[in-house]
Structure formats: structure tokens, C-alpha cells
Structure 1
Amino acid sequence: MTTTGEDTGEAGEVHARASAGAAGAAGAAGGLWWWARRRGAVFDGALAVVSALECAAEGIPFARDAGIPVAAGVVFGLAAGATLLVRRRWPIAVVLVAIAITPAQMGFLLGLVGLYTLAASELPRRIIGSLACMSLMGTAIVTFVKVRQDARSGTVDLGDWFVPFASIATAVGLTLPPVLLGLYVGARRRLMESLRERADSLERELQLLAERAEERAEWARGEERTRIAREMHDVVAHRVSLMVVHAAALQAVARKDPEKAVKNAALVGDMGRQALTELREMLGVLRSGEGGSAAGGTGGSAAGRTGASVPPLAAVGAAAAAAATRAAAEGALEGPALAALDELVGQSAAAGMVVALSIEGEVRLYAREIEQTAYRVVQEALTNVHKHAAGAKTHVRLAHRSAEIAMQVENEPPPELPAVSLVRLPSGGNGLVGMKERVVGLGGVFVSGPTDAGGFRVSAVIPAG
């Protein structure tokens, strides 16, 4: 059976690629030449020595039958058997040499190992099948001729059926087992490589999930810190601002009007107690979250003691636990509602501000986040009036609409007061930013800025859905 030039060219190209890959792998692993490991080179060297000795021994009767010097037959056998050394890089060459020396009844080990290596390689199946058929036909023909010669010479006295049977059986026995074994080993090797690649890919995906979970957890922690800072700012800034205003008024009237001084002192005490109550509520929520953090720290310490790193799925679980803790914290901080808006305006009026509250539309209940945000916007706007426009007349408007709730706090220009009577309150510059973050976070619109009359206006619209 012969092969076409196309098959030969394809075999050479595939074989070159396989050889280059094997050489690269060997260089990366620190092996010798095209062997990935040194023990592979030693094993192939041992096989080549055994094959060369076998072919050399079989070369002696071949030289006698062919009428050539025995030394030439031995050298020929040594050279042919030694080609087994390159079976991993050039398996096609090894099989072709084995087929070529088949008529000389040499190279049985060379043929077996060559066919096995060829079948286990990455070469196309049609090339493997073609070379296997060539080896099968060559072995069958040589066996047929040898057995027939022995039968005619009287060495073997059997029926006519024995000659073809012996030739076919010998050819199949020397060709089919190594080819099938090579195909099985090659398929198993490819399967193991595929499983290894899938395992590596899965490990990379889990690592990526762990990194993303850590990023989400870090983002959630940042959001939680921002939310808590916003709550602390709203509570402290408003209450303490009113306390400072009342304390200044108390200082001014302490000697002139003791009754008013007592009233202002009571207001200062009420403001302080309310501020402390709200701060205790927030700090209590933070302390309740420390239990989960401590548990997480204990788990981390245990992992450190065992010397194992936290697995990616544990990181995802930690992120979920953090989210649950965050949700519980948000639920615990109920915060103020629009029902307390009258009290808020009354506190500002008690501090000396001329403030008017007007409500339009049908009053109804909203989600907790909406009511809390609307309350905080009005509260922070009134605080800014205390800080920057003391004594200015202020208008607070609240409108309940079908699909939204709107609020506006506008103050007129502050009156000209003596510099001695002004109470300077510190400002961190985060009030307007915090209000805008709250409103935009709920899908609303926030606008603030000076008015044409010289005052300041804060407006917000929040969807009611």
C-alpha cells in the first residue's frame, strides 16, 4: 500500500509541529534535546540498545543468505535498530525503517515500539492507518513467503491452509496490538490534558470570582462608611448647631432675663439628649455588627493556624454575610420620618429662626428611605440657614404629588446684625454633597444655589415609587 504526496507533506508538517512542541516543552522542563524528562531519554536509549543488538543478531543470518559479509549485516542491523532512539520525534521514520527491513526478517522490537509510538502520537488518523496497513501487508507477505519456503523444503509438513493462516495471524499479531495500545494511551493522554486544562481554567475563574467578591465587599464597606458618616453628620450638625445657637442666646440673656435663660437652657438640654439618643442608636447598630466581624476574624485566625488560605467560595460567603449585616443595620436605623417635620421646624423656631412650613397635596405614607431622605434634606437645609444666614426668614414647602414628593427650603437674605451678636458655626462643606447623594441615590433630582433676592434655595424631588 502506498501513500500520496499530499499525505506525506501533511505528515511532515504535523510531525514538524509536534517535534517543535516537544522540543519547546523539553527546553522549558530542562530535559535533554526533544525529551521532556531525562528518564525518557534513558528509557529510549535502553530500547535503542536492545533493538540494535536484536537487529545485529538477526543481521548475521541475513548476511549469509544475501551473500554479503557478516560484518556488513551486523553493522546494518545496528544502524537500523538504533533508529528507535528517535521514536518520539520522528515516529514515521522509525516505522518506515521497520517496514523496510521486514523482508530481511529483522527489527521485530523496532516494529512493535514504532507502531505503538506512531499510534500514540498527535498525527492524523489516516497517516497512522496508512502506515499500519503498510506494516501489516509487509509482515503478511514476508511471513507468507517464509512459511511457504519452509513447507516446500519439507521443514514444515502441514496443509495448504496453514500458509495463509500463519501469514495473516502473524501480521495481525505483530501490528494490531501495538496500534490499539498506542491509540488508547494517546486518547487517555489527551483526555488527561483536557481535564488538567479545565481544572486550571476553573481555578482561574474561582480566583477571579474571589477577587470580584473582594472588590464588591470593599465597595459595600465604603458605601456603608459613607452612609454612617452621612447619618452622623445629619445628627451632630443639626443638633449641635441648635445647641450652639441656644447657648449663645443663653449667654446673652442670662443676666437680663433669667426666665428666658432657663428656657434656653432647657432647650439646650433637650437638644443634647436627642443628639445622644440618636448617636447611641447608631453606635448600638455598629456594635451589633462587631459580632459578625469578630466571628469572621476568628475564622480567619483559624485558617491562618491551619496554614490554609481562604478559598474563593468562602470569600463569596463572607461578602454575602457582610451584605446581610449591612441590611440588618439599615433596618435597625429607622431614622426620622415626615411626621416629625413639624417638630423639626418648631425646634428651629425655638432657636430664633423665623420659619414657615407649608404642605400641599394629600399626606400619605412613603417608603422608609424616601421619608428619611426628605426629612434629612429639610433638616440639613435648616442647619445651613443657622450656620450661614442667622436671623433670615425661611420658608419650608412640602408637596405630595401623584408620582413624587417635592421639598424646598428657601431663606431670604439675612438681616444686618452686629458682628458681636453673630454666632460663628464651623462648616465641613459636606452638607449639600450629602443631600445630593441621598436624593440621587433614590433616583431623584437635587438643585441648590443662591436666589436672585440674595437668599439661598434648596430643592429636591424624589420619586414616590
Structure 2
Amino acid sequence: MTTTGADRDAERVRTWWWWGRRRSAVLDVGLALVSALECAVEGVGFADKASLPVPVGVVFGLLVGSVLLFRRRWPIAVVLVSIAVAPAEMAFLMGIVGLYSLAASDVPRRITAVLAGMSTLALFVVTVVRMKQDLAQADVGPPDIDPSGWYVPSVSLFMTLGLNAPPVLFGLYIGARRRLMESLRERADSLEQELSLLADRAEQRAQWARQEERTRIAREMHDVVAHRVSLMVVHAAALQAVALKDPQKAVKNAALVGDMGRQALTELREMLGVLREEAVPAGPAAVPLAAVGRAAAAAAEAAADDGPCLDALEALCEQSRLAGAAVEFLVIGEVRPYAPEVERTAYRVVQEALTNVHKHAAGAKVVVRLAHRDAEVAMQVENGPSDAAVADVGLPSGGNGLVGMRERVLRLGGVFVSGPTDAGGFKVSAVLPTGA
């Protein structure tokens, strides 16, 4: 759990009231004791001038000096008390420390300026009066210095500024530095929380990327293997049926099964080879898990870059004809090349549709249409009802063929439609944009 600056400040307040640390409390208590002793000593002189009992002046000085204990909590009150007792010539230490505490606090600067000016004026007046009294009482014959001239005000102003300016300036510096440190601490806490959120989001994106790439690789493997294996099963069933009746046809079917098996193995080996080349190294140079998914997807796409295109659709239909299906292939429009991903997707759609025909509509008549338009290419595979006289070869179905075709088409911004026809067959249609 991240502890912010506000939590730390709240904990300090609960532990040491308004002090943030133990040494701050010890320092303030020590300063209050020194200030109380100073004011107690000065209270003796104040009692003589005011014709008061000495104990009263001492107790008054102790109470006044003890106010310095609250300099962090109420710095304004400390400065006001020092100004109030300035005519009694008391609490000089409290005035200096109070001005520093006021300047270093979060009190608005205009209030600090007003109180600092009041304290300076009060100390200036007290200093002028005291110096004139001392000069008037000095028994040195004809005075060399006229108390009514410029000497007393100048010296008093210099002494007053020398006492008040340094604590105010130093307090302003310490306050600005403290606020800067608090700002940096809050920024560090905020950055730590943001980094934690970014790490969580990165992990979620990595999991999503792994899942997405698993789906893509599974789709590529399905498209590469399922069609040829399906044709192999169809030819194997035909081979079993004609092995004794027509040995020559059986030999031909066996040769077709061997050719398709070799083609399936070749395509599978090419894809696995590319995946192996993109393997992630182990050890210190290991790539993050999110990169594994991207590398796998790139491998799958790279394996298919040199794969089938629209020119191979005629051969694809011929393979289905050799398996016993009645396939008609129609081309509409002017033939022209397209981007590799467009041609590959169109080929895979037709391939998967023919595979579904072999699985679910054995012996049905099939029409494959390919239309070249201005800014798009469309393909449609429509089959009639299944021929009941043709035995079902029992091909398994994972239910992912139509889903994979839809994902491929939508990824390129195309349109995919599939469903049964009025004649009892099934139709698969897809339109792919051929722009940029």
C-alpha cells in the first residue's frame, strides 16, 4: 500500500499534536524556556518602571515568554504578543523567532508583510525612545551628538532592520524550500500511483495480446491444415469404397491422398519454421511476454505471405472436384492483383467454405463466384442440398470455421454474411475493400 504525504502528515499530527517530529517539539520547548527566562529577567525592570511588585513582573514575563511554545501552531499570535509587549522592552527573542516562524508558515504573504512592518515600527519606536533617554541621561559635559538630529533615527532604523530583516528573509527561504519539498513528495507519490496503474494496464494488455495472438495462430493453423486433411479423409473414404471394384481409381485416389498430405506437411513445416526463427531468447535478453504474442502473430503472417492467392482458386476447386464434388468456378470482372492480405483472406474464405461443404454437404453441387469490382473484391460459395446417396465421411467439426472467416474479413474492414438458402443449401459471401 502506498503511503502519501497526507497520510504521513495525519500520522504526525496524531502523535505529536502540531509538531511533525520529536526534535521539533524539543526545539520549541527549549526556545520557550529560554524566552520565558529572558522575559522573566526583563520583567523585573518592567515592574520597577510600572511600580508593580517584582513577582508580578516575573510571572508576567514567564507567561509572555512561554507563548513562543506555540510558534508553529499560531505564529500570528506569537508575533502580535511580541509587538504588544515591545513598549515594555521585553520578548526580543520571541519577536525574532516569531517573525521567522511567520515567514516560514503558510500564512498569506500580505499578512506576513503587515505584521513584519508593525513589528519593525514598534521596535524602531522603542529603540529611538530608549536611545534618546540614554543620551539625555549621559553625564559627559557638552554632548557631541544632538539627540534630536539624524543620528538616533538612523541608528535605530539600522538596528531594527538588522534584527527583523534576517529572520523574515530566512523564514521566506525555508518556507519556499519546504513547499517545494512537499510538492516534490506529492509528485513522487502521484507518479508512483500512476506507475502502478500503468503496470496493471500493461499486464492486462499483455494478457489480451497473448489471447489475441493465440486466436490468430489457431486460425492460421486451422486454415492451413483443416482443408487438406478434410480432402484427405474424403479421398480415403472413396479409396475404401473403390479399392476392390476399381483398382486403378483406387491407386489414383491414393496418390491424391499422398500429395495432399505432403502439401499439408509442407505448409505446416513452413509455419512452424518461421515460428521457431522468431523464438524468444531465454535469460537476461528475454523479451517481455507481450512481445511473444506479437512475434507469434508476425510469424503466422509471415508464414502466409508467400502462401496462396486468388490465382490458386482454380487449383483449389480442382482438388474438390477430384474428391468427388461438383464445383463450378465463375470469375466476374477484370482480373487484377491485390494486396497480399486481401488475396490471402479471399483464398482462405473460399477454402474454408469448400471444407465445410465436404464436412456437412457431401455430394452437393457447389458454385464458387469471384467478382472483381472497382474498389472491392467479392467472393461467394453456394452449395445445394446434400446428396443423400453419398455416404457421410464423418469429418469432425470444431464450429470455428465460420467464426474464423468472419474475423478475417472484418479485420480488413470487409463484410461477411453466411446462412442457409431457400433451396436447402448454404451460402457464404464476403466483400473485401481493395483500397489502401
TM-score, normalised to structure 1's length? 0.86
- The match for 1:462 is 432
- The match for 1:365 is 337
Query: Is this contact kept in 1: 2:36–2:61, CA < 8 A?
Result: yes
What's the C-alpha RMSD, in Å, of the aligned pairs?
2.3
CA distance in 2, matches of 1:23, 1:280: 60
Match of 2:357 among 385, 396, 401: 385
Query: Is this contact kept in 2: 1:230–1:434, CA < 8 A?
Result: yes
CA distance in 2, matches of 1:352, 1:320: 45
- The match for 2:377 is 405
Match of 1:134 among 113, 118, 129: 118
Query: Is this contact kept in 2: 1:30–1:36, CA < 8 A?
Result: no
- The match for 1:333 is 304
Query: Is this contact kept in 1: 2:376–2:434, CA < 8 A?
Result: yes
- The match for 2:238 is 249
Structure 1 residue 29: deviation in Å? 5.9
Secondary structure at the counterpart of residue 278 of structure 2: helix
- The match for 2:45 is 61
Structure 1 residue 209: deviation in Å? 3.6
- The match for 1:7 is none
- Deviations 1:359-380, CA, capped at 9 Å, x for gaps: 1111111111111110011001
Q: In the comparison of the two structures, how many residue pairs are matched?
A: 425
- Deviations 1:429-453, CA, capped at 9 Å, x for gaps: 1111111111111111111111111
Q: Does 1:162 align with 2:146?
A: no
CA distance in 2, matches of 1:146, 1:177: 23
Matches within 5 A, 1:26-175: 26-28=10-12, 30-154=14-138, 158-160=144-146, 161-175=150-164
- The match for 1:197 is 186
Unaligned runs of 5+ in 2: none
Query: Is this contact kept in 1: 2:96–2:164, CA < 8 A?
Result: yes
Structure 1 residue 325: deviation in Å? 6.5
- The match for 2:315 is 343
CA distance in 1, matches of 2:291, 2:244: 60
CA distance in 2, matches of 1:236, 1:22: 62
- The match for 2:393 is 423
CA distance in 2, matches of 1:206, 1:93: 44
Residue identity in the other structure for 1:413: P
Structure 1 residue 214: deviation in Å? 3.3
Query: Could you say if the C-alpha distance between residues 64 and 121 of structure 1 is closer, same or farther in structure 2, counting changes exceeding 3 Å?
Result: same
Match of 1:448 among 403, 412, 418: 418
Structure 1 residue 32: deviation in Å? 1.4
Query: Is this contact kept in 2: 1:139–1:170, CA < 8 A?
Result: no
Query: Could you say if the C-alpha distance between residues 299 and 73 of structure 1 is closer, same or farther in structure 2, counting changes exceeding 3 Å?
Result: farther
- The match for 1:262 is 251
CA distance in 1, matches of 2:321, 2:260: 13
| Higher alpha-carbon deviation: 280-289 or 46-55 | 280-289
Match of 1:282 among 271, 279, 284: 271
Secondary structure at the counterpart of residue 212 of structure 2: helix
| Higher alpha-carbon deviation: 114-123 or 54-63 | 54-63
Structure 1 residue 155: deviation in Å? 5.7
CA distance in 2, matches of 1:320, 1:413: 47
Residue identity in the other structure for 1:243: M
Structure 1 residue 30: deviation in Å? 4.7
Secondary structure at the counterpart of residue 452 of structure 1: coil
Query: Is this contact kept in 1: 2:359–2:394, CA < 8 A?
Result: yes
Residue identity in the other structure for 1:426: P
Query: Is this contact kept in 2: 1:52–1:80, CA < 8 A?
Result: yes
Secondary structure at the counterpart of residue 364 of structure 1: coil
Residue identity in the other structure for 2:220: E
- Deviations 1:237-258, CA, capped at 9 Å, x for gaps: 2111111111111111112211
- Deviations 1:83-116, CA, capped at 9 Å, x for gaps: 0100111101111111111111111110000000
Query: Is this contact kept in 2: 1:29–1:37, CA < 8 A?
Result: no
TM-score, normalised to structure 2's length? 0.92
Query: Is this contact kept in 1: 2:12–2:21, CA < 8 A?
Result: no
Query: Could you say if the C-alpha distance between residues 54 and 158 of structure 1 is closer, same or farther in structure 2, counting changes exceeding 3 Å?
Result: farther
CA distance in 1, matches of 2:319, 2:296: 34
- The match for 1:438 is 408
Residue identity in the other structure for 2:363: G
- Deviations 1:179-199, CA, capped at 9 Å, x for gaps: 111111111211222233333
Residue identity in the other structure for 2:219: R
CA distance in 2, matches of 1:85, 1:404: 85
CA distance in 2, matches of 1:218, 1:192: 39
Structure 1 residue 67: deviation in Å? 1.9
Residue identity in the other structure for 2:57: G
CA distance in 2, matches of 1:321, 1:282: 16
| Higher alpha-carbon deviation: 191-200 or 179-188 | 191-200
Query: Could you say if the C-alpha distance between residues 204 and 254 of structure 1 is closer, same or farther in structure 2, counting changes exceeding 3 Å?
Result: same
